[in-house]
Structure 1
Amino acid sequence: MLRDLGDGLVLRRGTPADADALAAFNADVLRYQDAPDPEPSMGAWTRDLIEGRHPTFRPESALLVEDTRGKSIVSSMVLLSHTWTYAGVPLSVGQPEIVGTRAEFRGRGLVRAMFDVAHAWSAERGHRLLAINGIPWFYRQFGYEMALELGGGPRLYTVGLAAGVRQPTPPYRLRPATGADAPFLAATSAHAGRRYLVTAPRDAAAWRYVVSGRSAGSAARNEVRIVESEAGEPAGYLEHVPKLWGPGLHVRELEAAAGVSWRAVAYPVLAYLCETGEAYARAAKTELGLLDFWLLGSAHPFAGVVQFSSSRRPYAFYLRAPDLPDLLRRLTPVLERRLAESPLVGHTGDVRLSFFRDGVRLTLDGGRIKSVEAWPPPRTVAGLDFSLPSADERRPSAMFPGLTFLQLLFGYRSLAELEAAFADCVVRGQEPRALLEALFPKQPSKVWPIL
C-alpha cells in the first residue's frame, strides 16, 4: 500500500495479478462517449500493459485505488516513460495515461492522490517533461498546460474517390509490414522527424512492437503497411486504425522515404485506404464516408499533394515541466543556435521572464547562455507597472500568465499569438521581443508515443 485514503480506500501499485480486474475496469469506465456498453479495446490495451507486452512499461508503474470493502478498483492510471526529442535534443518524458474513476467515486481527490505519486515517480526517473493526451481542462488542475499540437490534418470524403484514384499500372503497392521491416521503418520515421520541433522517435525495437507486439483487440493497435515499388523496394509506410471510427478510416502515420515523391505514392495509398475502408464497412454493416488524416497534424506534406475536402482544428497535448530552468539548460544548444542565426547574434544581456508567482532569468554573454536560473519576480519595485520600457532590472523583460510560456517554448503559439490571446501577456520593449522571437519561434511538432 502506498497511501491510506480513508473510508476503506487504499492507493497501491499494480501487479500482474491485476490484469483481468483492471482491464474490466478500464473497459467499463473509459468506454467511448455516449456508448451504452464497455469498450473491449480499452481492456485489451490495459491487459497488454499489465502483462508486460510493452517494451518499457511494467505493471508496478500502474496506480490503483482499491475499495477494500469489496476488493474492487475504483480509480486507476499508469505512467509510461519515453524519450522524445526537441530540435534533436533527447528529453526523458513521462506520460500519465488511461486515467479513470468510477462515477460514484469522483470528486474525492483520488486522481490528485495518484498524480502526487506519479509525479514523485517521474522525478525519480529523471523525466524533464510530462505529457498527457487527455480530456479538456481536467489536467490543468495538476500543473499541466495545453502546449503541443495534436492533430489538425485534413479529411477526404470517399464518394467517387475509389474510381478517381484507381490506376491501370500503379507505381507502388502496399503490403503488411513485418518485423524485418523495422530498420526501414525506423530510418524513414527518423528522416520525417527532421521537419518537426518535437518528435517521439521510434527505433527498430519500438517498430517491432508497433507491428506485431500488441494484442489483436487493443485500442493502441494499428495496421502498418509498407509502400513498395513493383520491384519490391520500400518507398514509405502507412499506419492506420484497424476499423472504422464512425464513418471514417483514420490514418495515424504516413511517410515517404527520402527521395520518393509524395505525389507518386498518393494514389496507391488512397486506393488502398478506399478498398480497406470498404472492407471494414462491410464487416461492420455500415458505410465508409471519409478518409481521416487528422492525426497527421497540420504541417504534414501529404496535405499539399492532394486536394482535400476539409479539415478539423487541432487539439493539443498537455505538458508539465516540473523544473523549467533545468529544462531550458538542457535545451541550451538549441537556443544558442537559434540566437546565432538571428539578427541578435552575439547578444549580451539578461532576459527576465515573469510568470507572476515565479519566473526564470536567462543570462547571455556574447551569444552564449551563461546561466538559467529560477527568478522570483521582486516585490520591492515601487510604483505601478504599466509594462513600459524600464532601466530597473528588478522588472521583468516579459510576463506570461500561468503556464502559457510553455506554449511559446514548444512552438505551439508565437509570441504575437500569445499577446493576442492573453491581455496580461506583456513584453517590455523591442529588445526583449526580438530576443524571445529569436529564441522561441513557432514551429510544428508531431508526437505519437508508443502506448
Structure 2
Amino acid sequence: MVNEYRFQHPETREDYEQLYEVMRRSFPDEDVDIIVRRLVEYHPEMSNTDYFMVKHGDKAVAGLVLIPQKWSIDGEELNVAEMGCVGTVPEHRRKRIQWILNKEFDEYAKSKGYDMCVLAGIPYFYRQFGYQYAVELDYETEIEVNILPEETSLVSRAFKEEDIPEAQRLLEQTQNRYLVHSIRTPEIWKMQQETRTYGAEPFKSTAILDDHKLVAYYRWWVEEKVFNVKELAFKAESYVDDIAACIRQEAMKQKAEKIKTKLSHEDDFSKYLIERGAEKNKPYGWQIKLLDPRSFLEKLGPVFEKRLAESKFKGLTKELCMNFWKYKIKLEFREGKLVSVETVSEAKRVLGMNPYASIQLFLGYRSREDLEYAYPDFYIRGGNEGLIDVLFPRKPGYIHYCY
C-alpha cells in the first residue's frame, strides 16, 4: 500500500496550494491551512525543504511542517526541529502514510544537524515514532478578575516594535530560571509582532512603563470573557503587585470576568496568583526524540563539567557506562572534564537506562528516583546514585513559542 505514495517537498505554487488543501481537509474549521500559509509567507528561516508532503498520483494527501528552533539546556544551545501541522486527508488514513513522512522528517533533521525532534501533538500517537514526554507544556492558572489589586502607579500602552530589544532582555531574564527553554531571535520577535500570532494563536501586546522605561510586557487575548495572558516578562519581583493591577485594568476594559495565564507554575506571577487562590491545572508535555543520543550527551559536556565543579564530585575521574539495552554509551571524565563519549559494545548492568524514559532524566522532567520507581528497567547501582543526581538534576523547563 505504501508503494502507491511518493514523498516530496513542495516546489511550485500549485504544490503549496495542495499542501494548504491537505490541512483544510485534515483539520476542518481549525485554520491549520492558515497557520501553514503564515509560516510560508513570514517565517524568516524556513524554506521549501521544511515542508513535507506525500502525493497519491498527482494529488497531495498528507503533509507536515518542520519549524526550526533553538533551545537551551542549562546554557548549552541545541538545534531543535519541531514537527507541526501533521495531517492526512480522511480517505487516505490508516495506510501508514505518516510513517513515510516521519522517516523523511528524521532523515532530513539528521542531515541538517538537528539535535532533537519535538512536537506538541495529540496523546500517544507519536510514541510509535520514538517520542516521549520530556518538557512541560500548556500550563494554566485561573483567577477572578476582582481578586487582583486595582491601583498602580505604572503606565500601560500598546507594545511597539522599538520595545523589542528591552522586551527580549526581560524575556531572557525570565527564561534563566528554567533548565530547558527556547531562544527567540529578533527576527522571530518581529515576525510575531507583524503577524500578531504566538505559536498558532492570535495575541495583542501591552507594554508596562515605570518613569517612561519598559519594566514589563505581556501578550494577551480575550475569549468568552476570559482574559488570557499568553506571555509575561518583567524586570523584578517587586513589580508583581503593580503588574497585576495593570492586567486587571485591561481585563476590566475588555469586560473579562476571569484572568487565565499560560505561564509556568514556577513563574513569579503564577505563584502570586496561586497564593491568592488561583486554580492551576496539571500541564501537558512536549513530546521529544533524540536523533543521536551519543552526540546529544557529548554536546552537554560543558553542562556536566559545570555541574560537577559545583558539587562534591569536583575533579571527578571516572568512566560511566550507560546500558540503554538497545545500545551502550560510555562517558569518560578526567579531572572533572568530559574527555570522550563513545558507543561501546559491552556495558555492565550498573546503569540501566531505559532508552525511551531516559530523555526525561536528561531534560530534567523526571528525577532518577521518579524513573527508578516507574520503570523496572531503569536503575542506578554501584553507588552512582548521587553522581547521576548531580549530572541530571530534576528542574522544570518552559518553552516560549518561537514562531
TM-score (norm 2): 0.92
Is 1:297 aligned to residue 288 of structure 2? Answer: no
Give matches, 1:52-451, under 5 Å: 52-68=41-57, 71-156=58-143, 158=144, 161-162=145-146, 164-165=147-148, 167=150, 169-213=151-195, 219-229=200-210, 231-240=211-220, 242-244=221-223, 248-258=226-236, 261-276=239-254, 278=255, 290-293=258-261, 295-306=262-273, 307-376=276-345, 378=346, 394-430=347-383, 432-451=384-403
Task: Tell me if the contact between 1:185 and 1:204 (Cα under 8 Å) persists in the aligned partners.
Answer: no
Distance 1:397 1:423 in 2: 13
User: Cα–Cα, structure 1 residues 273 and 57, in superposed 2: closer, same or farther, change >3 Å?
Assistant: farther
- How big is the shift at 1:127? 0.6
Aligned partner of 1:25 in structure 2 is 22
Query: Are 2:196 and 2:204, in contact at CA under 8 Å, matched by a contact in 1?
Result: no
Q: How does 1:37-52 map to 2 (within 5 A)?
A: 38-40=29-31, 42-50=32-40, 52=41
Q: 1:175 Cα deviation (Å)?
A: 2.2
Per-residue Cα deviation, 1:162-201 (whole angstroms, up to 9, x for no partner)? 4x4363x522233222211111121111111111111112
Q: CA deviation at 1:309?
A: 2.5
Quote how far apart the aligned CAs of 1:336 are. Answer: 0.8
CA distance in 2, matches of 1:248, 1:76: 34
Question: CA, structure 1 residues 215+72, in 2 after alignment: closer, same or farther (shift >3 Å)?
Answer: farther
User: 2:2–2:96: 8 Å Cα contact kept in structure 1?
Assistant: no
Which consecutive residues of structure 1, in runs of 5 or more, have no partner in the other structure? 32-37, 279-287, 379-393
Distance of aligned partners of 1:27 and 1:251 in 2 relative to their CA distance in 1, 3 Å threshold: farther
Larger radius of gyration: 1
Question: What's the CA shift string for 1:341-394, capped at 9, x where partnerless?
Answer: 112222222212112111221112222212111234x3xxxxxxxxxxxxxxx4
The CA deviation string for residues 43-101 of structure 1, in whole angstroms up to 9 with x for no partner, is 22111122x31121123321112232xx5432110112111111111111111111011
Per the alignment, do residues 55 and 317 of structure 1 end up closer, same or farther by CA in structure 2, a change over 3 Å counting?
A: same
Q: Is the 8 A contact 1:146 1:318 kept in 2?
A: yes
Contact conserved, 1:174 with 1:227, CA < 8 A, in 2?
yes
Answer yes or no: is the 8 Å Cα contact 1:97–1:132 preserved in 2: yes
Contact 2:294 2:341 in 1 (8 A): yes
Cα 1:136/1:178, change in 2 over 3 Å: same
SS in 2 for 1:396: coil
> What SS is found at the alignment partner of 2:376?
coil
Distance 1:39 1:87 in 2: 36
Structure 1 352/446 Cα, relative in aligned 2: closer, same or farther at 3 Å? same
SS of 1:111's partner is helix
> For the residues of structure 1 that align with 2:54 and 2:289, how far apart are their CA atoms?
23
1-structure distance, mates of 2:257, 2:92: 39
2:294 maps to a residue whose letter is P
Between the aligned partners of 2:167 and 2:11, the Cα distance in structure 1 is: 33
The one-letter amino acid of 1:339's match is: L
Q: Which amino acid aligns with 2:188?
A: A
Q: C-alpha distance in 2, partners of 1:396/1:366?
A: 25
Residues 224 and 343 (structure 1), Cα distance of their counterparts in 2 relative to 1, 3 Å cut:
same
Q: Which amino acid aligns with 1:370?
A: V
Q: Secondary structure at the match of 1:420?
A: helix
- 2:218 and 2:229 in contact (8 A); partners too: yes
Contact 2:22 2:88 (8 Å CA) reproduced: no
Helix, strand or coil at the partner of 1:305:
helix
Change (3 A) 1:263 1:315: same
Shift of 1:441: 0.2
> Partner amino acid for 1:321?
L
Task: Give 1:258 deviation, angstroms.
Answer: 4.6
Q: Alignment RMSD, CA only?
A: 2.3
Q: CA deviation at 1:29?
A: 1.6
Contact 1:93 1:129 in 2 (8 A): yes
1:259–1:20 CA distance, 2 compared to 1 (3 A): same
The 3-state SS of whatever aligns with 1:6 is: helix
In structure 2, the gaps of 5 or more residues are none
Matched residue, 1:11: 7
Q: What is the CA–CA distance in structure 1 between the aligned matches of 2:99 and 2:201, rounded to whole Å? A: 25
Q: 1:219 to 1:20 in 2, by over 3 A?
A: farther
Q: 2:222, 2:200 → 1: CA distance?
A: 10
Contact 2:308 2:390 in 1 (8 A): yes
Match of 1:389 in 2: none
Normalized per residue, the structure richer in strand is: 2
Do 1:27 and 1:43's aligned partners in 2 also have CA atoms closer than 8 Å?
yes
**d(CA) in 2 for partners of 1:16, 1:189:** 38
Q: Give the fraction of aligned pairs with identical amino acids, expressed as a percent.
A: 23
Q: How far apart are 1:205 and its partner, in Å?
A: 2.1
Matched-pair contact (CA < 8 Å) for 1:11–1:65? yes
